[in-house]
Amino acid sequence: MLSKIVPALILAVAFAQAGIAAEEDYASRLKELRDRKADAQIEPLLNEWREERPNDPEAWITSANYYFNKRQMMISTKKPEKGDFVVSDPKTGKTAGSISFEQNKGSVNRAAELLQEATKKFPNRLDIWCGLAFIDQESGNFDAELSTLRDMVAYARDHATELKWLKGKNLPQPPDQFIPEKLHSYGLYYEKKENPKDDNRFLEIAKFSAEQFPNHPYAFNDVAMYFSVIGDNAKTREWLERANRIDPKDTLVMMNLGQICSKLGDNRGARKWYEEVIKVDPTSEYAQQAKDALAKLKK
């Protein structure tokens, strides 16, 4: 029996090593072209890589990154912004305009197309799903981004033991922890824009995450943050209390509960939550904030 199994194992290892060698060969050839600034040869090489190695996720990822990062030079009379080159009038020396390198919309669309193909070929690679969602986000296509995130979660639900991350490595955390924290990061992109339209997008991602991952507190805290922004303190408290029931040791949630109780005039409740923050983790970043807040309550 062993005499049959061992050669099969050796053959499998040999194929795996050959695949790694081929990937490294294409990656090294790509690096060489970039070093030589042989831009005209890069796209044909990437096409060859995908054709010759159709089961290599890195071929699709590298190709998508190439197209996403392509820039076109734009010369304009507009005032230079951060990262732009200044164009000066040779006669007066005064600023006459700027030169910027902006994304090519066609190239960005091509990057998205490649990653969409890749999600079908390698659906267990969450880094590919997240990359596609990022491109959707950067392109201003929220509907496509949310659809990508929904599809990613749907696949992950049914294939939790098969999920991989960068370079095909295991996820750094269990899926039920890793994925809601990724959703949280996509939501924060919109929260930071501080306008009603993007606040609603932030809420939509947060509610989706809360629905899909009811045992993770981040999304519940995010929904509470939304209600806080629009001034609904009662709803804010309700969602924070739900987050606390999920993770009673989360000091950020407790700190937020203390603050919202204070806003509602419930100083007794605020004091309780601030004291709990200090009790749970006296060395946390929120412990000193809790002590300061308690001091203000005594005044």
pLDDT digits (tens, 9 = 90+) for 237-274: 999 999 999 999 999 999 999 999 999 999 999 999 99
Instruction: Tell me how far the alpha carbon of residue 204 is from its chain's centroid.
Output: 16
Is 90 exceeded by the pLDDT of residue 92?
no
Between CA 104 and CA 71 the distance in angstroms is 6
Kindly indicate the confidence band of residue 191, based on its pLDDT and cuts at 50, 70 and 90: very high
Residue of 155, 203, 152 whose CA lies nearest to 182: 152
Q: What is the DSSP string of 215-284?
A: T-SHHHHHHHHHHHHTT-HHHHHHHHHHHHHH-TT-HHHHHHHHHHHHHTT-HHHHHHHHHHHHHH-TTS
Q: Please name which of 185, 172, 116, 146 lies closest in space to residue 163, comparing C-alpha atoms.
A: 172
CA angle 186, 189, 194 (to 5 degrees): 140
* Dihedral sign from CA coordinates of 115, 116, 117, 122: positive
pLDDT in tens, 93-125: 667 655 544 668 899 999 999 999 999 999 999
CA distance 212 to 177: 12
Mean pLDDT to the nearest integer, 34-39: 90
User: Cβ neighbours of residue 177 under 8 Å, at least 6 residues apart?
Assistant: 216
Nearest to 251 by CA among 279, 292, 232, 223: 279
The tokens 């990937």 sit on which residue?
A: 23
Cα dist from 104 to 37, 101, 158, 239, 288, whole Å: 19, 9, 37, 42, 48
pLDDT of residue 10: 47
pLDDT at res. 102: 60
**Residue 3: its pLDDT value, please?**
41
Amino acid at position 189, single letter: Y
Residue 207 to residue 278: CA distance in whole angstroms: 30
pLDDT of residue 71: 67
Q: Using alpha carbons only, what angle is made at residue 250 by residues 245 and 255, rounded to the nearest 5 degrees? A: 100
Note whether 121 and 57 are within 8 A (CB). Answer: yes
The answer to whether residue 229 scores a pLDDT higher than 90 is yes
> What's the CA gap between 288 and 262, in Å, rounded?
17
Mean pLDDT (the chain) is: 88
pLDDT in tens, 44-71: 999 999 999 999 999 999 999 999 998 6
What was the pLDDT predicted at 40? Answer: 93
Residue that the structure tokens 């090489």 belong to: 45
Instruction: Report how far residue 42's alpha carbon sits from residue 36's, in angstroms, rounded to the nearest whole number.
Output: 11
The pLDDT tens digits for 128-168 are 999 999 999 999 999 999 999 999 999 999 999 999 999 99
* Residues 34-51, mean pLDDT to the nearest whole number: 94
Give Dmax (Cα) for the chain: 87
Beta-carbon neighbour count of residue 40 at 10 Å? 8
